[in-house]
């Protein structure tokens, strides 16, 4: 089975939740006040798709499709982060597709008048790290003139030195990728274009945070038969369960926040291995992060001679009601979490599990 890369970036935790609330308010207060772009306060879309003749005449232009959306975030997909984190203060979104690319790239920013009163003068869209997304103006025919587009708009600061000149030039936009004249389009056209960035697989169904409720127990697992174990000699796990039971439900009810679900949710993982017939159980504390639950080992139910907080596993929704569990860095109790065997990446075949729903009785302690 093929899997996308499991994300292991650091989380902002409470700060992210707080920021989500603040920027949501900021959007409500300041959104869509640029009447040049949106005379009636509705989301606005501008775009252009270049034909072969235009591109042939401009060999240094890489962009074949470009869309600018002024409004609420058209990029985000149903994911695992709490609803409190789902809004952004961005009100301008740009997406481009270059020659030979299968999907667009995108960037977002804050678009405002540059004057002190914020009501007149040129419109500039700024980005994080004091970068410019674009400058905007409307011509006499209602078209959007988009200029000051940096060639490294999708690259990190310092990328030229890191990538080298040749690779940087390959990834950057072309020398003629600026001063675009975009036609007004229905908002649905921009939403459809942004949807091409990361198409949703309908087989996955809703996010885990919707599928699994804060006040309901669940049980997922898998038992590997002799044939499977024989064909996977490097796999230690014979049986695995992932669940929330009465103890975990009571813990969240007393100290958790349903509005921030799944942040603060405890799950339990129990395993049996080739070496040990007895079940070994470990508790993890989870938080939603992008399209996964990131779950750190907890000492709530066990005493350890080492700090296990850095031991992390990841849960993702799978097709047809299943879930997948990733163990990229030896964070399951198939090995002693404080031993040298648990240092670094998982070396055995115990990296990714596809788990099916089971009766709650199958996860009984």
Segment holding 195, helix H or strand E: helix 187-195
Please list the residues that pair with 162 across neighbouring strands.
Answer: none
The secondary structure of residue 91, as a DSSP letter, is -
Task: Give average pLDDT by consecutive 10-residue segment, the chain, 365 residues.
Answer: 38 31 39 82 95 96 97 80 64 95 92 82 87 93 95 84 88 94 97 87 87 96 95 94 96 93 95 86 91 88 69 92 93 82 84 96 89
pLDDT at 5: 43
Burial label for 336, CB within 10 Å (0-12, 13-18, 19+), is middle
262 prior amide bond cis, ω within 30 = yes
pLDDT at 89: 66
- Mapped onto helix, strand or coil, the DSSP state of residue 312 is strand
Q: What proportion of the chain, given as a percentage, has pLDDT over 90?
A: 57
pLDDT tens digits along 115-143: 877 778 889 999 887 889 999 999 999 99
Contact between 194 and 328 (Cβ < 8 Å): no
pLDDT at 363: 95
pLDDT at 209: 93
Write the CB contacts of 24 (distance below 8 Å, at least 6 apart in sequence).
Answer: 84, 87, 89
- Radius of gyration of the chain measured on its C-alpha atoms: 25
Contact between 356 and 239 (Cβ < 8 Å): no
**Could you tell me the domains of the chain?**
15-199 (no CATH), 208-363 (2.40.128)
Among 87, 85, 88, 108, which Cα is nearest to 16's?
85
Q: Cα–Cα distance between 363 and 107 in angstroms, integer?
A: 44
């Amino acid at each position: 089975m093929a899997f996308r890369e499991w994300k292991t970036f650091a989380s902002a935790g409470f700060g992210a939740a707080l920021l989500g609330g603040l920027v949501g308010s900021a959007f409500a207060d300041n959104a869509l006040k640029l009447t040049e772009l949106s005379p009636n306060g509705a989301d606005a879309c501008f775009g252009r798709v270049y034909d072969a003749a235009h591109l042939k005449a401009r060999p240094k232009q890489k962009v074949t499709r470009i869309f600018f959306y002024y409004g609420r975030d058209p990029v985000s997909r149903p994911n695992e982060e709490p609803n409190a984190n789902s809004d952004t203060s961005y009100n301008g979104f740009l997406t481009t597709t270059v020659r030979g690319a299968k999907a667009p790239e995108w960037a977002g920013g804050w678009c405002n008048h540059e004057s002190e009163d914020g009501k007149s003068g040129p419109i500039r869209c700024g980005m994080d790290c004091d970068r410019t997304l674009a400058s905007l103006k409307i011509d006499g025919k209602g078209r959007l003139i988009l200029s000051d587009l940096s060639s490294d708009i999708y690259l990190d600061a310092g990328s030229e030195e890191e990538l080298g000149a040749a690779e940087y030039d390959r990834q950057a936009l072309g020398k003629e990728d600026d001063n675009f004249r975009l036609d007004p389009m229905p908002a649905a056209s921009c939403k459809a274009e942004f949807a091409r960035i990361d198409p949703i697989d309908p087989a996955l169904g809703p996010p885990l945070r919707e599928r699994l409720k804060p006040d309901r127990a669940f049980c997922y697992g898998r038992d590997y038969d002799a044939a499977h174990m024989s064909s996977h000699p490097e796999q230690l796990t014979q049986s695995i369960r992932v669940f929330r039971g009465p103890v975990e439900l009571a813990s969240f009810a007393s100290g958790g926040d349903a509005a921030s679900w799944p942040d603060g949710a405890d799950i339990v993982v129990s395993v049996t291995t080739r070496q040990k017939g007895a079940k070994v159980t470990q508790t993890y504390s989870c938080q939603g992060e992008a399209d996964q639950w990131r779950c750190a080992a907890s000492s709530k139910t066990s005493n350890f001679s080492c700090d296990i907080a850095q031991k992390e596993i990841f849960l993702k929704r799978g097709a047809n009601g299943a879930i997948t569990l990733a163990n990229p860095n030896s964070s399951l109790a198939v090995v002693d979490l404080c031993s040298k065997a648990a240092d670094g990446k998982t070396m055995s075949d115990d990296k990714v599990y596809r788990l099916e729903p089971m009766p709650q009785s199958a996860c009984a302690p």
